[in-house]
């Protein structure tokens, strides 16, 4: 049994955490998510701002401090954030397994009634 944190991430937060496996600033996060999802998911500036603050508070991401004084703040995922991401991935896998198993059974029953 995989670790169950009881946490369900929104799609936006899931992709924000994924994108922050490398340090990025706000606009960079949005661009990376757009690239990753081939333009399917666009995280708005408002959503991103709220999510970044919440994730900082929870300690799932932190500010990335660079040697050069950058005008824009950069963020990066923490170990705690990686743990949450792993647990979410396990949960998503389970969703897919349940779906596939149920649909496979449904197809099987259907084929019997047809015969």
Partner 1 sequence: METKRYFRYFTIADYEQEEKWINNMSRCGWNLVRTNGLIYTFEKGNPGEYIYKIDLPRESMTNVEADAYYKFMEEFDIEVVTTHKMWRYLRKKSADGPFDMPNNAMAQLSMVNRAYGVATKLTNTLIVIFALIILLLTLVLNLVDGVAAAFITGMVTSLGPSALVAMAIILVPISRRLRIRMNELMDEIQVKG
Binding site for partner 1 (CB under 8 A): 10-11, 25-27, 30, 41-42, 44-47, 49-50, 72
Distance between CA atoms of 3 and 86, rounded to whole angstroms?
9
Between 48 and 90, CB nearer to partner 1: 48
Put the strands of the sheet holding 24-25 in their side by side order.
24-25, 74-77, 61-64
Between 9 and 84, CB nearer to partner 1: 9
Yes or no: say if 89 and 81 are a contact pair by the CB < 8 Å rule. Answer: no
Q: How far is the CB of 61 from partner 1 (least distance, A)?
A: 15
Between 5 and 82, CB nearer to partner 1: 5
Give the three-class secondary structure for 70: coil
């Amino acid at each position: 049994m995989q670790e169950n944190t009881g946490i369900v991430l929104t799609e936006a937060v899931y992709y924000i955490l994924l994108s922050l496996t490398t340090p990025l600033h706000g606009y960079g996060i949005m661009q990376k998510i757009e690239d990753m999802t081939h333009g399917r998911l666009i995280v708005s500036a408002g959503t991103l701002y709220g999510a970044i603050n919440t994730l900082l508070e929870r300690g799932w991401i932190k500010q990335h401090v660079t040697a050069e004084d950058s005008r824009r703040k950069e963020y990066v995922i923490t170990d705690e954030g990686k743990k949450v991401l792993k647990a979410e991935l396990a949960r998503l896998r389970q969703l897919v397994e349940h779906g596939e198993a149920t649909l496979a059974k449904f197809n099987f029953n259907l084929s019997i009634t047809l015969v």
